[in-house]
Structure 1
């Protein structure tokens, strides 16, 4: 006779094992349902961020699943956006290299998954009032200079000063965005500011300000902008990450194929003159291909070295864990297999 107690125990064990297998399969084969995807960018937004928001393409991609896409432009710069990403207030961020590297070096669980842009001609400029006696970087010694700390503008002023055997300690720094620094410059409260040429175009075009040094003459100022994602989000929702990158890639391709329309959308959103924006892209390309090419990764590493040398990082980037090309590789492979 079969021992009934042993039979019951056997049935219970089999059921338990089956439950574990089913649970494991479910965790591997499906993604947890969410209702919103939150994407941030340095205000007013990177080119693709602006275009796919304005065209509604990112929202369209996810609305069929009942997922709302929310866009957050951060006026406090990339550092503010990356803080929101690291704290869980965002799922994705489009920022410059410096804030992305700083957050990674601090040990935050974020992943670099693609490039927002990599323009070889950076539009960053150092600007003074038109009637200022300042003519060169060396004239900035002891002067009041405004820029957003932890951004590419911060890196640009540091690199410029270094060329003249000076350091950031030789100027009086003010951590201001253009909404504050522009009026402050015109009033005479500060002596110079560091911003993009398109942003300062209204002041320069009216003769209120002039550029003393341009990033167009300093290619070493250029570095890739990053698309990053929260590590836990990527782990839980890999398919959503790939779908976002699919829209990003399509937006990049559309931008170059419809350059004039893209310029209009971008300039309007930024409240910039179209002619000022066009000067950033003389080759009629936005340089927004998301692929993490070797040159871009090397540039990120060079920027990390520069930031370390100038005490702009707290820690070191773990490149093996930070860079994750698998999502974009999957998108590119799928795109290639769908070509006719």
Structure 2
């Protein structure tokens, strides 16, 4: 558990007091951790009620958001947190949803697809914060990796290709959006279903299990460094892919103390995103080098590729784009229709606006 501490040296590896180590991400481990990580429930709060201003003493917020943890600690913004935070080294949609279901964390940081699949697979959740890229056309979150020896120079060349496809992750929706943009359908390609975990997509490309796979910017540089000499390439996706969210189980938001803690956290989260954009070199060292193990050169490449972030204080446009993605998934994956705005808890929209305007 971590609350406050001295500002760490960005050139040294931070000390992470994590409640859910990576090696314990199996369901059994998460179930065991949930017993020791949970705190007593606070008063029940209706989802239509105003958010409380402060959590009761002793409230612990369990957060799966390692990038923001690093940003808060490195920037010193962590000193502004008045709540106790228990950090979990959990990222990605599948692991975050598993942690929710095991009652191991209260809030997680993911792209826009995991909250949809949480809903569609029976876990009641709400989105409490949103982030996007200042210039998404110039700074895509993903590029399409092309296997050595495969000729793909533009998205229209995807016809007839084997494409790595992860239905419940952002990469899966990206593939469907790219196909739509290229004037293609699923019948025009071969979708090879697999989860995008660690470097699974890079390995699949290198071994020619697939012809094309979406790669996050942290993998693009290393993929090309290893295989460009063999003919590997990447191309831009040609569609917007920069949506990012914080989301939480509805049961957490119905706990008045947890909801108050999240209200405070999302305000500092928004300021941390701004700090990342304004201090890319410091964040590259602290997160991508010290925490993720990238080389300094690769870390700089990633932060430059991702560009600057912005946290909208009016969610209307963000929700409209999210609904377009939902409609694509309903059509292409035969999902149940969904009014995506019902997943957004807009009480936190106001809390974020107040935090950003007051920072």
Q: What is the TM-score with the length of structure 1 in the denominator?
A: 0.73
5+ residue gaps, structure 1: 1-25
- 1:41-72 deviation line (CA, Å, top 9, x unaligned): 5xxx5x5355236668559735xx6x441223
Q: Is the partner of 1:221 in helix, strand or coil?
A: coil
Question: Which has the larger Rg?
Answer: 1
Q: Which residue of 2 aligns with 1:125?
A: 143
Asked if residue 70 in structure 1 is aligned to residue 94 in structure 2, the reply is: no
| Aligned twin of 2:329 | 307
Contact 2:176 2:328 in 1 (8 A): no
Distance 1:91 1:169, change over 3 A: farther
What's the Cα RMSD here?
3.4
Equivalent in the alignment of 2:203: 183
The aligned counterpart of 2:246 is 227
Task: Identify the residue that residue 173 of structure 1 maps to in structure 2.
Answer: 192
Give per-residue Cα distances to partners, 1:118-155, cap 9 Å, x unaligned. 45232312212333345555655554432433222212
Q: Do 2:153 and 2:235's aligned partners in 1 also have CA atoms closer than 8 Å?
A: no
**What does the per-residue CA deviation read over 1:179-212, in whole Å, with 9 as the maximum and x for residues that have no partner?**
2332232233333322123312112134245335
Structure 2 partner of 1:295: 317
Asked if the contact 1:130–1:210 (Cα under 8 Å) also holds between the matched residues in 2, the reply is: yes
Cα pair distance change 1:252/1:185, threshold 3 Å: closer
Distance 1:299 1:247, change over 3 A: same
1:95 shift after superposition? 0.9
- Name 1:327's counterpart in structure 2: 348
Normalized against structure 2, the TM-score is what? Answer: 0.69
Change (3 A) 1:102 1:56: farther
- Structure 1 position 299, deviation (Å): 1.2
Is 2:212 the partner of 1:192?
Answer: yes
Equivalent residue number for residue 36 of structure 2: none
Answer 1 or 2: which has greater helix percent: 1
The alpha carbon displacement at 1:248 in A equals: 0.5
* Alignment length (residue pairs): 297
Do the aligned partners of 1:113 and 1:328 also contact (CA within 8 Å) in 2?
yes
Could you say if the C-alpha distance between residues 107 and 184 of structure 1 is closer, same or farther in structure 2, counting changes exceeding 3 Å?
A: closer
Gapped regions of structure 2 (runs ≥ 5): 1-42, 46-51
Q: Which residue of 2 aligns with 1:15?
A: none
